[in-house]
Amino acid sequence: MAFASAFGDEARLLRMKETARGLEHGSMLYKSTGRCFRPFYVMCLSRTILIVGFLFVVWQSYNNCKAQQELCEMTRNSLEAIKAASIACKNINEPVHVPIPTGAKTCETIAEYKTMGKPSDGPIIYAITPTFTRPVQKAELTRLSQTFLLVPNFHWIVVEDSPKKTPLVVNLLASSGLTYTHINAPTPPHYKLGKNDPNWKKPRGVEQRNAALRWIRNNLNESHNGVIYFADDDNTYSRQLFQEITKVKRVGVWPVGLVGGLMVERPICEKMTNKVTGFNAVWKPDRPFPIDMAGFGINLKVILEKKDALFAYDIQSGFQESEILKQVTRRDELEGLADGCSKVYVWHTRTQPPVLNTEQILTKRGKSSNVGIEV
């Protein structure tokens, strides 16, 4: 009995324990389900921030990827032309070192920059630059030479208007890294500009450009593939101009910025055929070829064929371009380049003569600022 009662007690005790456990379980359930009734944003705020942040990061990196790809595509396209023009070494022996810009890290940019200025299979551009001693001369020639370093197959013909070659130009050319020919050809005294003459009064550069043409005719022949370009030292040149110059079959023309009183003086060209249908010049539009010296290139074979074509002294100012062009071509033969004459790759910037009144005072006192320093 005692056993039975003890057993019954045992059973009751067990039931009570189970009930207690059940209650405990229930309270746990209550506790956990109780959380479900808290507002959603409290429960999920931190998780929501995490998820939104993650999505934002994903979206951002997707956009970055797309922008990178577009940049690469643009770089590839714009450099394709250079690649095509910079293949193997043939005509020039001196390799030209072209530094790689530090910012250039995308796609093939670095590889492409390494090919810039290196010899290619294309024609050699013979750029004729008349120059004379003046305060801005070294600055002008430095600007030009460092643009020309970017041009594959480039030969610079520098002609000094002086009875002797000057050390400044000798040294500048020797350290330029360019292939060059250095000539001096003084303008005959009769034609020299007086101190107060405006620069249009007498033709400038005639003696020098003719000396360069004679050098070309004496030193080059039909076996050479080249284009002649008159690159005055008071202009600014884009390296893209020289890609256009390599396309000149006989005589090519293109727009020139900041000349003739206009933002751009240019031939009007048919885009499909490259034929020149007219010119937009306002200054002396009746010139046979109303374009600037920087606005045309002549193939070497034309210069050799028309072996007497030269610039002349006794002609009206602004007619030098027409003078040479009328001896070698006709208007209807001109090849309009630079994307149908729609792009400006050269500007007649004309460096302003610097103000040196203080220097003149110092010089009179024998205290020039540039004694022993080449400027």
Ligand X SMILES: *[C@@H]1O[C@H](CO)[C@@H](O)[C@H](O)[C@H]1NC(C)=O
The residue number with the shortest CB distance to ligand X is 221
Closest separation between CB of residue 128 and ligand X, Å? 19
- With CA atoms as reference, report the closest residue to 338 among 12, 17, 81: 81
Integer-rounded Cα radius of gyration of the chain: 38
Question: Among this protein's residues, is 140 annotated catalytic?
Answer: no
Query: Is 93 an interacting residue with respect to ligand X (CB under 6 A)?
Result: no
Closest separation between CB of residue 308 and ligand X, Å? 19
Do the Cβ atoms of 336 and 274 come closer than 8 Å? yes
For ligand X, the closer CB: 219 or 369: 219
For ligand X, the closer CB: 69 or 221: 221
For ligand X, the closer CB: 223 or 360: 223
For ligand X, the closer CB: 63 or 221: 221
Do the strands 236-237 and 346-347 form a parallel or antiparallel pair, or are they unpaired? antiparallel
Q: Which helix (H) or strand (E) holds 235?
A: none
Q: CB neighbours of 264 closer than 8 A, spacing ≥ 6?
A: 255, 256, 257, 258, 280, 344
- Binding-site residues for Mn(2+): 234
**Catalytic-role residue among 140, 160, 207, 321:** 321
Give the C-alpha distances (Å, rounded to integers) separating 88 from 147, 153, 229: 21, 11, 23
Closest separation between CB of residue 227 and ligand X, Å? 17
Q: Which two tokens stand for residue 1?
A: 């009995």
- Binding-site residues: 234
- With CA atoms as reference, report the closest residue to 213 among 203, 197, 228, 234: 228
- Sort 235 into a burial class: Cβ within 10 Å, 0-12 / 13-18 / 19+: buried
Q: Which two tokens stand for residue 348?
A: 């007649």
DSSP 298-364: EEHHHHHHSTT----SSS-TT-HHHHHHHHH--GGG-EE-HHHHT---EE---PPPP--HHHHHHHH
Closest separation between CB of residue 305 and ligand X, Å? 14
Closest separation between CB of residue 223 and ligand X, Å? 5
Do the Cβ atoms of 252 and 260 come closer than 8 Å? no
Closest separation between CB of residue 77 and ligand X, Å? 37
Q: What mask, x for binding ligand X by CB under 6 A, covers residues 200 to 229?
A: ---------------------x-x------
- How many residues touch ligand X under the rule CB under 6 A: the total is 2
Rounded CA-CA distance 268/76 in Å is 30
How many other CB atoms are there within 10 angstroms of residue 46's CB atom?
Answer: 9
Query: What amino acid occupies position 338?
Result: A
Do the Cβ atoms of 253 and 291 come closer than 8 Å? yes
Active-site annotation, residues = 321
- Binding residues (CB under 6 A) for ligand X: these are 221, 223
